[in-house]
């Protein structure tokens, strides 16, 4: 394959290899910009196939009064903990994935081969967990000896901020703030909704002043967002389930904007997944608290969202594939080639892309 292969014709059915490109390591952002809200933004005009090199502070220029900007208010919690195996005192790294029910969590452990059902993992003098099951994805299920409130209080105090696997450095104190959006409210994510990382209070004030309605939803992003797609046939890929909530007031606000003929702008792929997963019939967004494993890929029709603000994503990733539902895949790859040539910063701490 050449450095950046672009096909002349758009196939009716895409395969995983249609979303491949070469991403140089030096373009993977290892740190955020010095100041929040200081990223570049590549604007992709899907109808005219025009590209513009802009700044995230220019985002407001592409909004219209009456539009609705939907954001994800999930909060990344410090999900990485260090535990000791009872009796052997061996050190184990624990990554909290999700709460299954009261006092019971799904986790990943390292080294996994040393943690078996029946083992006890001690986090402190008073807090420990029993390993009660294995998961099909190679994880473990644990039960705490304390309430979830006590456990989460410990996690928030002693846990380490998880970083994506392509950020090769150790987490630093600043990551607790910078790998978190200013909208973060409801703890539950192990990965940040990265499109939201670009926003600062100044930009939000500009957006509100323009008459754009800002509406929250919640989707707790899981570790599956980094999981590689292993099959060529996209229909055979299964997404990990993620919990989402859309309140009655948020659903009403979004539907009202749609009825008035204004646009719904999604701040990130997680917003798209939540909104598209909430529909029962037609294009109305429904209030919902549920789990979704919806995988969005072309030529699926996006029914709710009109405009997508997202980051620059990994080759063959579900996030890149989702973006191709908003714009012709060939032109999307041309936009990525432009971003590479212009040395945009890629992935979670990288620059933004606005698809109109």
Residue 224 is part of a domain; what is its CATH number?
Answer: 3.40.1780.10
Q: What is the per-residue pLDDT for 2?
A: 47
**Cα–Cα distance between 234 and 318 in angstroms, integer?**
10
Final residue in a domain of this structure, among 158, 192, 227? 158
* Residues forming beta bridges with residue 85, ordered by sequence position: 121
Whose tokens are 């846990």? That residue is 159
- Within a domain: 165: no
- Within a domain: 208: yes
Whether residue 263 is found in the same domain as residue 285: yes
Split into its structural domains, the chain has a count of: 2
- Within a domain: 256: yes
Query: Tell me: the pLDDT tens digits for 273-331?
Result: 999 999 877 778 999 999 999 999 998 889 999 999 999 999 999 999 999 999 999 99
Cα angle: 56, vertex 60, 63; to 5 degrees: 130
**Cα–Cα distance between 231 and 11 in angstroms, integer?**
18
| Cα–chain center distance at 79 | 16
Query: Tell me: the pLDDT tens digits for 225-243?
Result: 888 888 999 999 888 889 9
Beta strands 68-72 and 213-219: pairing type?
parallel
**Cα–Cα distance between 99 and 302 in angstroms, integer?**
30
Whether residue 221 is found in the same domain as residue 339: yes
Query: Tell me: the pLDDT tens digits for 83-104?
Result: 888 878 888 888 888 888 888 8
Residues in the chain: 356
Whether residue 151 is found in the same domain as residue 185: no
Sign (positive or negative) of CA dihedral 42, 331, 1, 229: positive
Whether residue 209 is found in the same domain as residue 267: yes
* Residues forming beta bridges with residue 91, ordered by sequence position: 84
Whether residue 199 is found in the same domain as residue 211: yes
Whether residue 240 is found in the same domain as residue 186: yes
Whether residue 88 is found in the same domain as residue 215: no
- Within a domain: 262: yes
DSSP SS3 for 323 = helix
pTM: 0.86
Whether residue 154 is found in the same domain as residue 277: no
Q: What is the per-residue pLDDT for 146?
A: 86
Q: Provide the phi-psi class of 282: left if phi over 0, else alpha when psi is between -120 and 50, else beta.
A: left
Cβ neighbours of residue 81 closer than 8 Å, sequence gap 6 or more: 93, 94, 95, 96, 123, 155, 158, 159, 160
- Within a domain: 87: yes
- Within a domain: 56: yes
Final residue in a domain of this structure, among 129, 158, 187? 158
Final residue in a domain of this structure, among 131, 158, 185? 158
- Within a domain: 249: yes
DSSP letter, residue 27: G
* Residues forming beta bridges with residue 267, ordered by sequence position: 309
- Give residue 112's domain range: 80-158
Whether residue 86 is found in the same domain as residue 68: no
Whether residue 62 is found in the same domain as residue 91: no
Q: What is the per-residue pLDDT for 12?
A: 62
Q: Which two tokens stand for residue 114?
A: 């040393």
Whose tokens are 């994510």? That residue is 189
Q: What is the per-residue pLDDT for 1?
A: 46
pLDDT beneath 50, residues of the chain: 1-2, 6-8
Whether residue 285 is found in the same domain as residue 183: yes
- Within a domain: 166: no
Whether residue 219 is found in the same domain as residue 261: yes
């Amino acid at each position: 394959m050449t450095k950046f292969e672009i096909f002349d014709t758009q196939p009716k059915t895409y395969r995983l290899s249609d979303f491949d490109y070469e991403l140089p390591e030096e373009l993977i952002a290892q740190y955020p910009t010095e100041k929040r809200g200081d990223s570049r933004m590549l604007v992709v005009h899907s109808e005219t196939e025009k590209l513009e090199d802009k700044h995230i502070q220019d985002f407001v220029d592409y909004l219209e009064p009456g539009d609705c900007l939907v954001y994800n208010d999930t909060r990344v919690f410090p999900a990485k903990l260090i535990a000791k195996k009872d009796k052997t005192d061996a050190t184990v790294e624990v990554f909290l994935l999700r709460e299954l029910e009261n006092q019971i969590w799904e986790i990943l452990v390292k080294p996994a081969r040393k943690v078996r059902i029946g083992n006890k993992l001690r986090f402190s003098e008073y807090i420990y967990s029993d390993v009660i099951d294995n998961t099909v994805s190679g994880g473990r299920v644990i039960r705490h000896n304390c309430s979830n409130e006590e456990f989460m209080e410990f996690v928030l105090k002693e846990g380490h901020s998880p970083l994506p696997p392509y950020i090769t450095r150790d987490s630093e104190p600043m990551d607790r703030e910078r790998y978190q959006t200013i909208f973060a409210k409801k703890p539950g994510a192990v990965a940040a909704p990265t499109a939201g990382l670009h926003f600062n209070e100044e930009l939000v004030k500009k957006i509100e002043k323009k008459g754009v309605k800002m509406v929250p939803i919640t989707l707790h992003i899981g570790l599956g967002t980094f999981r590689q797609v292993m099959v060529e046939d996209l229909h055979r890929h299964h997404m990990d389930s993620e919990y989402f909530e859309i309140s009655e007031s948020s659903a009403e606000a979004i539907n009202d904007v749609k009825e008035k003929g204004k646009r719904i702008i999604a701040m990130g792929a997680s917003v798209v997944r939540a909104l598209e997963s909430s529909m029962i019939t037609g294009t109305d967004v429904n209030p919902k608290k549920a789990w979704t494993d919806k995988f969005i890929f072309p030529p699926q029709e996006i029914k709710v969202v009109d405009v997508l603000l997202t980051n620059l994503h990994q080759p063959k990733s579900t996030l890149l594939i989702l973006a191709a539902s908003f714009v012709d895949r060939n032109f999307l790859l041309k936009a990525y080639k432009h971003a590479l040539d212009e040395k945009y910063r890629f992935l979670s701490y990288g620059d933004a892309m606005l698809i109109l």
